[in-house]
Amino acid sequence: MLKGIDPLLNADVLQALRAMGHGDDLIIADTNFPSDSVARQTALGRVLRIDAPAARVVKAVLSLYPLDTFVDDSAARMEIVGKPDEIPAVQKEVQKEIDAAEGKSWPMVPVERYAFYERAKQAYCVIQTGERRFYGCFAFRKGVVPPDAE
């Protein structure tokens, strides 16, 4: 245990988050996402795991992870097939965590299912959660941490 770091963030996840650079993508996926096969194609090359609901994982990650302010798609959600405008409960819960972490409204952009898979393959890494609800899949583009004010 470490002070100030969410205990859900295990050593493998912390190492990956630290190693990522500006513009790298992080995928947080539900239990049905093909995390292992997709993660093999990422920069990290293996799947990471946090066995907790998606919103709880997002809260832990965003406690340390800055979102990219230079792009419009730094927070994205997988669209429901055939219902691109529908937002299920799991995505609403994650949206609340994003807004809380950023201190303002930060809407997720929708990404079509197969386009999401392609984005995930280009990501730095994939964290598979214990989320069992469908469409609990999200992409977060890493931003920067500014230097301390002098």
Q: Which residues are catalytic?
A: 22, 68, 117
| CA gap 121, 118 in Å, rounded | 5
